[in-house]
Amino acid sequence: MHNRTVITFGTFDVFHVGHLRVIERAAHLGTRLIVGVSADALNMRKKNRAPVFSQAERLAIVGSLKQVDEVFLEESLELKRHYILSYGADVLVMGDDWEGRFDEFRDICEVVYLPRTPAISTTALIEKIAGSGLIGMPGAEPALSA
């Protein structure tokens, strides 16, 4: 395969198998995978809550995956064009919850939306943990701070 740089973006909070699948499939589309991890401040603006794991922790987790060649902090959604160009990305990959939202970048790279892994999300995990009865038990860790 010719050298082909793939770029993808995400918060990757409370890293789960849905995140892993999208990263694995993105890596298969090229020879080098770059991941933009959304900054804590960007999440506060976008979702009105802080991620469970800090940006430093999320960068460390995603950056440690064998499929990932490089991670960087995504400071703003408006900088996508800049990030794509500065990393020389040939392909932008996003989950299909973003379908159509990044078509404007087709002038500088290929844009691919991959189907989300069903039935798993950070929000569902937080709710499952919160409802598990573990939180608040004597001797249990303090509740998630988010």
Written as six digits, the tokens of 19 are 């995140």
Least Cβ distance, residue 138 to ligand C2G (angstroms) = 33
Footprint of ligand C2G on residues 83-102 (CB under 6 A)?
94-95, 97
Among candidates 128, 111, 15, 120, which has minimal Cα distance to 71? 15
Least Cβ distance, residue 134 to ligand C2G (angstroms) = 23
Residue 13 and residue 111 in contact, taking contact as beta carbons nearer than 8 Å:
no
Residue 50 and residue 44 in contact, taking contact as beta carbons nearer than 8 Å:
yes
Residue 126 and residue 146 in contact, taking contact as beta carbons nearer than 8 Å:
yes
Number of residues that bind ligand C2G (CB under 6 A): 18
b/e map of 87-108 (b: 16 or more CB within 10 Å)? bebbbbbbbeebeeebeebeee
Interacting residue with ligand C2G among 6, 14, 19, 90 (CB under 6 A)? 19
Interacting residue with ligand C2G among 7, 29, 34, 74 (CB under 6 A)? 74
Interacting residue with ligand C2G among 6, 12, 33, 84 (CB under 6 A)? 12
Interacting residue with ligand C2G among 50, 52, 120, 125 (CB under 6 A)? 120
Binding site for ligand C2G (CB under 6 A): 9-13, 18-19, 22, 38, 74, 77, 94-95, 97, 116-117, 120-121
